[in-house]
């Protein structure tokens, strides 16, 4: 029998923390841990990615879709550098990930081959915890502390293991280390509720508002029933941050959709007309679309007190779990449904939905990308998981894909790094191989790393009870990233065309290419019924403008009697954007 090494001990600690799989790229400095994972027979499994960056995105995606701790592996040098993108994604979206990095330097430090100061390299992205396991006896405690810190702070951590330590035999007396937490990292580690006095103040503030708006972020997950009940009691309208889009059923008549540049005019109008604002678990950065400072009285709920008032002035801060805090508020808030305000909100939502349908129906050459997402809405499988990439696809996803209850969706919301959708989708599918998964990407993200990671999909799909992993590629050949409605031109503007569906077929997957709007629905039906993973390549018009909504100002009718004054104020607030007509404000 082979001697038990520290690498085997690492695998045992991963198993103790209930880690189902680790993502990475094999390399000499981490090879002992990879070999130990292989000996473990899939408990936990090692999932090789085509690139370390996608491995870290997979780890982040695993944390996002499961609420568990994601794990990625890499070696020193360039391999470690490639991990940073996915780790920053986890940090900025508050997800727990542990990076295990191998180091193999035999000679003196300072200029060795592939030598990088790993503590400094990871010092920012993993600022909560970066440690070396210098001796075999230190490794279990260091790993446990890394996992505990990642769970408690919802952030990435890093453990560096020299190769000589990994191959060392396990000492006879391993130092005692603390046990594993039973709580999942995606949930509060304890029951956190604001003080009664703060709850009373928040209930009073919400109760006297005439035009209440609720902005829901990802921290509202699990609190949909409480949010809807409170909205009904207050006659409030609801909008969502981009990360909060999956929290509520978007078909609710008072749900104005996503707020911000990628969002809807109804959400902007909701913010512009409200006099009271409740922020639930959101750190939404689109501050241009918030109400004007001084326009509203504000209550903010967040489990992390560091985020309170981070984006907008807050009158009553409530540090606590969203579900528990909302239940406590419901027991205190008076039942005062403002029917006139709710009717105003619902009328605005209806107008937006009609406008969105009209936009998607506009002729385009050859296909309107908005139509592609609207056709998916009617066919989106219940219990599906959706991974969204960065680029124009975010605009169409935010506005045109309605997420019913039971569908989860994630994207690189705060970092905004392209190339995340397919790694996310792989992680989601490996975590739940019995449910359908969709990855929504543009051709730029697909060329960045999606083509390579389709190899990973081709390697694993026969193990899945439900083989459906559908990758949508919006092929618009536009490399400009402007989205201003002008066609791409020149070397810098036009992206090389690639046969995305054909590449899928070469890998033994299913591929469909569609360039006629009347065939979009049938194409979705085909890929969603396929007996293997599919790529749906939609050839879309690059000249369809993104059309961000105008940030709606406060109701200025009582402040400015003449349209010229209103135009001057709007010009200042919108930083020299074109002013709206005076009748929009008076």
pLDDT tens digit sequence for 472-504? 999 998 766 666 666 766 655 677 889 999 999
Note the Cα 187 to chain centre separation in Å. 17
What DSSP string runs through 374-391? HHHHTTPPTT-EEEE-SS
pTM of the model: 0.90
Cα–Cα separations (whole angstroms), residue 78 to 53, 88, 116: 11, 16, 8
How confident is the model at residue 556, as a pLDDT?
42
User: Is residue 126 within 8 Å of residue 157, measured between CB atoms?
Assistant: yes
Q: What is the pLDDT of residue 570?
A: 44
Residue 263 CB-density burial (10 A; 0-12 exposed, 13-18 middle, 19+ buried): buried
Beta bridge partners of 367: 540
Q: In which residue ranges of the chain is pLDDT below 70?
A: 1-2, 106-115, 173-189, 479-486, 488-493, 553-586
CB–CB of 19/44 below 8 Å? yes
pLDDT reported for residue 293? 83
Closest CA to 453 of 467, 439, 466, 463: 439
Q: Spell out the domains of the chain, with CATH numbers in brackets.
A: 6-167 (3.40.50.970), 196-351 (3.40.50.1220), 362-539 (3.40.50.970)
Read off the tokens for 448.
């960045």
């Amino acid at each position: 029998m082979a001697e038990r090494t520290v690498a085997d001990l690492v695998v045992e600690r991963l198993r103790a923390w209930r880690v189902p799989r680790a993502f990475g790229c094999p390399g000499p400095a981490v090879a002992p841990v990879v070999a130990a994972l292989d000996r473990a027979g899939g408990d936990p499994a090692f999932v090789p990615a085509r690139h370390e960056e996608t491995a870290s995105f997979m780890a982040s995606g695993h944390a996002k879709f499961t609420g568990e701790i994601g794990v990625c592996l890499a070696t020193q040098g360039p391999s470690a550098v490639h991990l940073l993108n996915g780790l920053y994604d986890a940090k900025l979206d508050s997800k727990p990930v542990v990076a295990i990095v191998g180091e193999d330097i035999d000679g003196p430090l300072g200029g060795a081959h592939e030598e990088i100061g790993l503590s400094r390299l990871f010092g920012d992205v993993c600022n909560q915890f970066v440690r070396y396991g210098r001796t075999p006896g230190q490794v279990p405690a260091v790993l446990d502390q890394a996992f505990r810190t990642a769970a408690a702070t919802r952030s990435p951590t890093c453990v560096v293991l020299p190769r000589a330590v990994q191959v060392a035999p396990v000492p006879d007396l391993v130092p005692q280390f603390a046990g594993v937490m039973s709580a999942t990292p995606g949930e509060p580690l304890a029951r956190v509720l604001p003080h009664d006095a703060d709850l009373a103040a928040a209930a009073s503030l919400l109760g006297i508002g005439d035009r209440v708006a609720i902005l829901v972020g990802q921290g509202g997950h699990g609190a949909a029933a409480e949010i809807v009940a409170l909205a009904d009691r207050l006659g409030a309208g609801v909008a969502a941050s981009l990360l909060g889009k999956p929290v509520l059923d978007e078909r609710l008549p008072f749900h104005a959709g996503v707020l911000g540049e990628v969002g809807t005019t109804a959400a902007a109008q909701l913010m512009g007309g409200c006099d009271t604002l409740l922020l639930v678990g959101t750190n939404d950065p689109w501050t241009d679309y918030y109400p004007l400072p001084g326009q509203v009285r504000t209550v903010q709920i967040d489990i992390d007190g560091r985020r309170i008032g981070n984006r907008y002035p807050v009158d009553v801060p409530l540090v606590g779990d969203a579900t528990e805090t909302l239940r406590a508020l419901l027991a205190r808030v008076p039942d005062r449904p403002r029917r006139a305000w709710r009717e105003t909100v619902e009328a605005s939502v209806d107008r937006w939905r009609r406008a969105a349908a009209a936009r998607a129906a506009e002729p385009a050459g050859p296909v309107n990308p908005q139509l592609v997402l609207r056709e998916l809405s009617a066919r989106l499988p219940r219990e599906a998981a959706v991974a969204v990439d960065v680029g124009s696809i975010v605009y169409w996803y935010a506005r045109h894909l309605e997420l019913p209850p039971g569908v989860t969706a994630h994207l690189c919301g705060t970092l905004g790094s392209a190339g995340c959708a397919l790694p996310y989708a792989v992680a989601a599918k490996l975590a739940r191989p019995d449910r359908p998964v969709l990855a929504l990407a543009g051709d730029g993200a697909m060329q960045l790393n999606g083509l390579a990671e389709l190899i990973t999909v081709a390697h694993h799909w026969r193990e899945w009870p439900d083989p459906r992993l559908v990758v949508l590629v919006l092929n618009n050949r536009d490399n400009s990233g402007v989205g201003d409605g002008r066609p791409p031109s020149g070397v810098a503007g036009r992206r090389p065309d690639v046969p995305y569906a054909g590449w899928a077929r070469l890998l033994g997957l299913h591929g469909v290419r569609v360039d006629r709007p009347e065939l979009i629905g049938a194409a979705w039906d085909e890929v969603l019924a396929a007996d293997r993973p599919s790529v749906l390549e939609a050839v879309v018009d690059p000249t369809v403008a993104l059309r961000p909504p105008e940030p709606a100002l406060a109701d200025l009718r009582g402040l400015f009697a003449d349209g010229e004054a209103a135009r001057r104020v709007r010009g200042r607030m919108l930083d020299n954007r074109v002013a709206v007509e005076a009748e929009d404000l008076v």
